[in-house]
Amino acid sequence: MVKDENDIFAHPESEKPAREERKGLVGLIQGHANEFMISMAIHAAVLFFVSLIPVKKAVEQEKTTMIIESAAPEVKEEVKQIVTDVKVQEKPVEVVDDNSEVVEKEVNVENPVETTSISEVADTVQENAVLAGTSDNANSPPAILGVGEGNPGANGGLPYGYKSRSKQGKMGAMRKHGGAGTESAVDLALRWLAEHQEYDGSWDCVKYEGKWQWKEAPTGIALLAFLGAGYSENIGPFKKTVRKGVAWLNQATEEKKDKPFFGSNYASAIALMALSEASIFGSKSMTKVNANRIAQMFVDQYTGTAWRYNDGNDQDQSVSGWIALSLKSAKAADLDALHTDKAKTVFEQYKNWVVMMTPDEAGTGKYTAKDNGGGAHMTWVGMFQRQFLGFPKNDTYLLKATDNSMKWIDANTWVGADKLGDCYGIYYGTLATFQQQGVIWKAWNVKMKDSLLKTQRKGDPKLLGGSWDLTPGITAEHGGRVMVTSLMCLCLEIYYRYEMMN
């Protein structure tokens, strides 16, 4: 073969079969041009849509990279290993109504399985930025004292009392305080709450065996269950659920901004706690404004002793306990209402009233000033109030109340039996014994965990899976399954919900 020097596409003889094949292909195309063009168009469309599949993951990866790069040096260093080791697992996720952020997976309470995704890494980076006080968010948490007193290291980030809700903090707190085996139950309870949130973002007691007509109390207590686990509008798998709930509670407060009273001071206190905690974890500025409105109402109500259902003209240690703790949450959120001259005297005067309601010699708590006391409910409310007001663990009342509590724990009246006691008593018993620690906490924790894990409904969270049946007592009667489930979930979050206050 003579090679044409002017043919830059000339090929050696060995490529002749290939050239002939290409000639045939050209002829085929030329003879079927219309069909070929249609086929090419179809294939191009298919390839285009297929190419869109990984876009979401790419956006997530880009978002994660941006968050990491914008974080402070100490935060980037802390999460460097997490980002390096993470393995993204391709798993189909079932979209469920308006709570598509809820990952549909089988929950095994005995053998929980943790998976890590790109979005979880982004959450971890953002969470560490908040903890370190280096978040870009204009509403990042203030650098002030929180639930506990005496926190000289409050330089920024989450206030004292809330830092253990981070992912790393939770793991350490659970190991330290005996929380092994509870997180899958918490996850299932939160999934039930997410599944049964109303379309507008609220929770409804009446739909789920309760009597309370107002929605602020169940919405607030359900939000506290998510926030107690360290999940917020910005962090964790339930962002949309929390965001909708906070938005609904904001709107409800806006509508009654002159007097944000929701049928009872109980409900208003729970709403204040929820909005305050949402503010601490980076909610929008309006959340803080509305929380401040409720806090100001309670400060204005105060007459020097305590509060009652509707105002501060009578005294009730039960409702006052909720209000006082909600004001401590408001203080942690740095609300303006807690910086007034009157507000500065509230806790001093209230502390004196609590001492009167929890006499040292008896070691039990009173419901009202005329009450002789003696029951477990008010004893544990009294213990927890003394604890968050800063009384030391060796306080005379706390030691005497601990002795009394051991008798109630041994009797299996509240936890330890096949059926749960009053959820209200279990909630405050868990708060008080955890803060007291020692022998009382060890005895309570074993029975509380066992009882709550055994009595939690298993199965599909779209049905009853993750919830608890109604317990004896007025709290369950009025609050229904939403209230009971939220309170029991908060009990299983006790290991990291609040740090030691005293």
| Residue 221 · residue 475 · CB < 8 Å | no
Give the integer Cα–Cα distance in Å for 425 and 471: 10
Higher per-residue pLDDT: 208 or 344: 208
In angstroms, how far apart are the furthest CA atoms of the chain? 120
103: left (phi > 0), else alpha (psi -120 to 50), else beta? Answer: beta
Q: Would you state the pLDDT for residue 502? A: 77
Average pLDDT, the chain: 79
Note the pLDDT of residue 85: 39
Residue 382 · residue 425 · CB < 8 Å: no
Residue at 9: amino acid letter: F
Q: For the segment 388-427, what is each residue's pLDDT rounded down to a tens digit?
A: 999 999 999 999 999 999 999 999 999 999 899 999 999 9
Residue 450 scores a pLDDT above 80: yes
Do residues 10 and 4 lie in contact, with contact meaning Cβ atoms separated by under 8 Å?
yes
Q: Which pTM does this prediction carry?
A: 0.75
Give the CA distances from residue 499 to residues 174, 184, 276, in Å, rounded to whole numbers and listed in that order.
Answer: 12, 21, 17
- Cα 453 to Cα 189, 282, 488: the distances in Å are 11, 32, 10
**What are 105-147's pLDDT values in tens digits?**
433 433 333 344 555 555 555 555 555 544 444 333 333 333 3
Which of the four pLDDT bands, split at 50, 70 and 90, describes residue 153? very low
pLDDT tier for residue 298 given thresholds of 50, 70 and 90 = very high
DSSP bridge partners of 243: none
Domain 162-497 class in CATH: mainly alpha
CB-based burial label for 55 (10 Å; 0-12, 13-18, 19+): exposed
**Structural domain spans, the chain:** 59-84+116-138, 162-497
Residue 487 CB coordination number (10 Å): 23
Least confident of 124-133, 243-252, 424-433: 124-133
Asked whether residue 160 carries a pLDDT value surpassing 80, the answer given is yes
Q: What contacts 201, CB < 8 A, 6 or more positions away?
A: 219, 244, 245, 246, 247, 248, 249
Q: How confident is the model at residue 37 (pLDDT cuts 50, 70, 90)?
A: low
H/E run at residue 310: none
Helix ranges (H only) for 71-229 are 73-85, 118-132, 167-177, 183-195, 216-228
